[in-house]
Every structure is written in C-alpha cells, then in structure tokens.
Amino acid sequence: MTMLEKAGLALLHRLDPERAHNLSLAALRLGLAPLPKVPELPRLRTSLAGLELANPLGLAAGYDKNAVAVAPLLKAGFGFIEVGAVTPRPQPGNPRPRLFRLPEAGAVINRFGFNNEGAEAVARRLARRPKDGIIGINLGANRDSSDRAADYGRVLALCGPHVDFATINVSSPNTERLRELQGREALADIIARTVAAREDLGLGRPLPIFIKVAPDLSGAEIADIASVALESGVDGIIATNTTIARPGVSGPVAAEKGGLSGRPLFRRSTQVLARLHRETGGKVPLIGVGGIASAEDAWQKVRAGASALQIYTALVWRGLSLVPEILSGLDAILAREGFASLAEAVGTGAAEWAAPPLAS
C-alpha cells in the first residue's frame, strides 16, 4: 500500500460510510485514486462460462451501482467487474443511515435496498464503456413491482447489449421477501424468463446468466438451487450474498438490520460454495465471494469449488492495492502446490469444506 493510498483510506474512514463510498467513486472518476500495477500472471488466466479472464479476481456488485466508474475500475487489475444492482425504475433505497462499519471484525453491514438510478441511466453509461475488459450487470427488482420476476428481464433488455454477463440477484436481504424467489419453482421461473429476455436481444454472442444466492440456506435449499441450476442451464452461480446472521460480531452496530459482509462471512459462504460444487457435480461454474481478504482466503475458495472470485468489503479496509497482493499470492500458492493453472485446483478441497455442518 502506498503512502497516498494509506492517507486516502485514513481520510475516508473518518467520514460517514456512505459519504466515503461516494467520494471514493468520485476520486476514481476524476483520476485522483491511485491504481495498482498488476503483473501478468499466465497461471491465473481462466475461462468462466465462456468468458476469457486475465485473472479470476472480480469486483462484486454493490460498489459501482450506477456504472459511473467502470473505466478506471477495469484498469485496477480486476479480471472482471460487476455493476449494480440495477432495477427497471430508479429507486432511492432505504432511509439513511444504511451503511455501517465494524472495523474490529473487518466487516460491514448495509441495508441500501437496491438504491440506483434505474436501467435507462445505467444503460446509457454502459453504452460508452471501454471495449476491453469484462463487465457484468447485477439485475434487481423494484421494491413496489407487481411482477418482480419480470423486472430482471426488463433490466436485461436495456442493459444486456452493453455487458458481458448478467446476474439474477434473488438474495439481497434488504428488499422485503426477495429471498423467497430462491425457492425451486420461483427460481426456475425467473431463470426461464430472464433467459427468454436474453434470447429476445438477438445479440449473436454468448451472454452468460448467473444467479446469486444467499449464505443463509439450509442443506435442502442448497440442493434445490443446484438442481434448478442444472435443469435450467444457468451459466453459473455466485455464492454468496451478504448474511442476515451475525457470526462473531457484537455491539450496537451489530444490531443494525441489513446484510453483513466481510471476514465473518468467510466460513459460511465457503461452506455453501462447497455444497453447491458437490450438489452440481462441478458441472456449473461457481464464483466464490464472501470474506476474501488475502491470497489464502482466495485459495480456500478455489479449493472449495470456485472457478472465479469476487471481493468488495476487504477493499474498504485495504484499498485497491489488495488486488495485486491477492493475485500474486494466489499465483505463488498454485506454484507451491504444483498446479500449472487455476482450473486444475478448482474443487480439490470441496469435500473437506462441504463435510461439516453448516456454520451458524
């Protein structure tokens, strides 16, 4: 971490969390944020649902909700980035305050509630995106929608021509009853309708559709999701979103409603990831997210079954310099363990991670 980055993070941490979030995006847009240098690491080149990634480390949805900083973020060393969540109509989200730091735990609680400027505004920005780099969009539903399942297709119709993949978000804890859409019948319906919307675009190129699931699932629910994924032909699963549980955290901030992300989520999200790998027989690509803050964390996600990874919360504490740190460290671990490529290592520890009872 450079002195400039260290000073910038110290300043941001003195501000209200949401204001700091917005200022960091503004700094990126204006070219004021230092971007790390990421070395070429051929061992980390990977294929994800037909997407060729320079490395497996992506930026999770939630940071650049409105696609305002895609160009600098693509230069920050990520193998791919995901914007959103985006809803058909603009949505203010929940009342402030709605973002809370837990520095001792390396965690964050948010209850934003899909605040975004709407699909039309985001589509206009994505139409001007750099042509190189991999960009995906996280599809959301409006809180007051009469047909939430249709909302995913509406966003895809507007933004799909400008992205490389799309994620069906049925796992945010901050929109009432949204997680009910993870049930077998509801999820199968949403996937079918979103895939139909993709076909209606007539892009003439692949556009992978992923689903993003919650960590707060039972073993039976994980099995149902895996079964639907296999039957529907969905292109991948992102495991996982934030948790409504509070593992290992306490105090007044921990009592705030919303989704917890960061280090306390690591164990549970990795177990869910491994269970999905087991239930799908490794036939559905998995993207591991939740609590990654080091190369060793990234390695454990790969062992549990992840073909690619996403980070977000750890960047709050460590800045963008964490990107090359994780990538260089992961490359060194693969070399140490005798793997010529990341793909060779995927799932090699899944049985170990899937075996214990799901962490509470």
What would the DSSP string read from start to end of 43-101?
GG-EEETTEEESSSEEEPTTSSTT-SSHHHHHTTT-SEEEEEEE-SS-B--SPSP-EEE
Tens digits of residue pLDDT in 204-234: 999 999 999 999 999 999 999 999 999 998 9
CB 215 within 8 A of CB 272: yes
* Beta bridge partners of residue 165, listed in sequence order: 136
Whether 328 is catalytic: no
Residue ranges covered by each domain of the chain: 3-351
Q: What is the pLDDT of residue 63?
A: 98
Q: What is the pLDDT of residue 181?
A: 65
Q: Output the pTM of the full model.
A: 0.96
Other beta carbons less than 10 A from residue 319's beta carbon: 22
Mention every residue, 6+ apart, whose C-beta is less than 8 A from residue 29.
68, 69, 72
Q: Which residues of the chain have pLDDT under 50?
A: none
Q: Helices marked H in 160-286 — which ranges?
A: 184-201, 219-232, 266-280
Check residue 162 and report its DSSP letter: G
Query: Tokens 């292109």 identify what position?
Result: 235
Q: What is the pLDDT of residue 1?
A: 77
Q: How far apart are CA 5 and CA 274, in angstroms?
A: 35
> Which of 189, 113, 107 is CA-nearest to residue 147?
189
Dihedrals φ, ψ of 153, to 5°? Answer: -65, -35
CB 290 within 8 A of CB 266: yes
**Token pair recorded at residue 141:** 């539903």
Q: What is the pLDDT of residue 360?
A: 78
Q: What is the pLDDT of residue 177?
A: 60
- Give the chain's radius of gyration (CA, Å): 19
Pick the CATH number of 3-351 from 1.25.10.10, 3.40.50.150, 3.30.505.50, 3.20.20.70: 3.20.20.70
The amino acid that residue 348 corresponds to is T
Q: What is the pLDDT of residue 149?
A: 87
The region that residue 273 occupies, defined by phi over 0 for left and psi between -120 and 50 for alpha, beta otherwise, is alpha
Cis geometry, peptide bond prior to residue 194 (ω within 30 degrees of 0): no
The amino acid that residue 96 corresponds to is R
Residue from 24, 171, 172, 261 carrying the catalytic annotation? 172
